[in-house]
Amino acid sequence: MDQSVKFDLDLIHRYDKSGPRYTSYPTALELHDGFIEQDYHQQVELSNKRGGPLSLYFHIPFCDTVCYYCACNKIITKNREHAEPYLANLFKEIELQGALFDSKRIVNQLHWGGGTPTFLDYEQMSRLMVATRQNFHLKDDDTGEYSIEIDPRATNDKTIKQLRELGFNRISLGVQDFDPAVQQAVNRIQSETQTFAVLESARKEGFRSTSIDLIYGLPLQTVASFSVTLDKILSVEPDRFSIFNYAHLPARFKTQRQINDADMPNAEVKLDILQMIIQRLLEAGYVYIGMDHFAKPGDELAIAQRENKLYRNFQGYSTHSDCDLIGLGITSIGRIADSYVQNVKDLPAYDSLISKGELPVFKGFVLNADDKLRRAVITQLICHFSLSFSNIEQTYSIDFQRYFSTELQVLKVMQDDALLTLNNQGIEVLAVGRLLIRNICMVFDAYVQANTKQFSKVI
């Protein structure tokens, strides 16, 4: 498979619009409160009937300091004891959820996100993992994808060793930027020394994948300053990069109001930074997976993409497409059978429902036949940059060109712009079009026009 990508500034300007990141289709904006616990139980019953492995996502919302750019659901506190009531409720939710699912179903994937999961101390993390193992069938042979998001400022060699002992084998380190002025502007002071010490410790303890998270478009960033950060990180050769476009939306996210608008790089600077990032990472031998993600050619993500086995879920790209995802903790989102389900978003509501022995279901959405068809098309394009019409036709019993006649007419314009090639057999996204894959997927999105203002820019 050709995994190259090409930066074309004129085309990026021409297709400069907002759109979904397609961690799901339909997106989370379609979830509604008409979906109740009874609906969830029906979907779990269907999930158990179909069988297959499971994926678990745990949301740990606590941080001891606030990063001004952050748009995550978080609770800022330095008191570790504040996590205890939350954990007590989380343990009850794990028990409630575990009782619903067939105990023979193996957990192939497990992910702790946040917030800062390492806000928890070792004793708390151990209790959480014990509760999980008591209620779900976790693997014991280290073949699962068990990952955790790490803030290097809240982690040391001992923590990494403990996480490995708990069963984690993949780690993602938040960095964002090493430039002191940028760090000051976003209230995230983090040294290279502590960051790379954690990375080295993870390698020493046998973590199978190391990933670095960066953000471009932060206040005071320039091409030159971000290039220095990239130099430092490339020197330690992480397995993966996640390099996100910062969406400055202070009207929606209060913490972002503490950023000085005058310090924000303009659109041209952001594009220059992105172009530099792509060039540097490709020159260093990394493969563009898609949607801000890069990996070494031998990494599991790159291999899965070449073998047409890559998938995308609420945590990003994944090598497992066959797992139903159970979300645990406030604001977490799961995918069960033909539905998406989100938990309540605040601690009082979570506590109230759990104390009554009820699942903390907030919203949900049940996909119809058209949703599932369009999801398959979008997932294939965003993961593999190609689509076989015959594969879709055989699976969904449609005539692709008749069903999507309107969409194919729109794609012809993109073909004229050399974003893709289109013929009777299928769609092939070209190197120029891969950076604009969100635009291509939006052609097949039946909901996007009503929600455009809710999304970030595609580049």
Q: Read off the pLDDT of residues 68-111 as tens digits, 9 standing for 90 and up.
A: 999 888 999 999 899 999 999 999 999 999 999 999 999 999 99
- Can you tell me the mean pLDDT for 149-164? 94
Domains of the chain: 1-26+369-459 (1.10.10.920), 28-325 (3.30.750.200)
Helix orientation angle between 369-384 and 389-396, rounded to the nearest 10 degrees: 150
Per the DSSP assignment, residues forming a β-bridge with 317 are: 312
Structure-token pair, residue 324: 């139903």
* pLDDT value for 52: 95
* pLDDT value for 388: 97
Of 61 and 73, more confident: 61
* pLDDT value for 73: 84
Question: For the ranges 42-46, 298-302, 405-409, which has the lowest average pLDDT?
Answer: 298-302
pTM for the whole structure? 0.94
Q: How many CA atoms lie within 13 A of 378 on its CB side?
A: 26
* pLDDT value for 314: 83
Among candidate residues 457, 357, 449, the one with its CA nearest the CA of residue 27? 449
* pLDDT value for 451: 67
pLDDT tier at 407 (50, 70, 90 boundaries)? very high
* pLDDT value for 322: 75
Are 423 and 390 in contact, with CB atoms under 8 Å apart? no
With H, G, I as helix, E, B as strand and everything else as coil, classify residue 79: coil
CB contact set of 185 (below 8 Å; sequence gap of 6+): 68, 218, 219, 220, 259, 260, 263
Alpha helix ranges (H) inside 15-82: 37-50
Model confidence at 453: pLDDT above 70: no
Structure-token pair, residue 332: 């977490």
* pLDDT value for 1: 66
Instruction: State which H helix or E strand residue 348 sits in.
Output: helix 347-355
Among candidate residues 249, 248, 293, the one with its CA nearest the CA of residue 437? 293
Alpha helix ranges (H) inside 207-246: 223-234
* pLDDT value for 443: 96
* Distance from chain centroid for Cα 324: 16
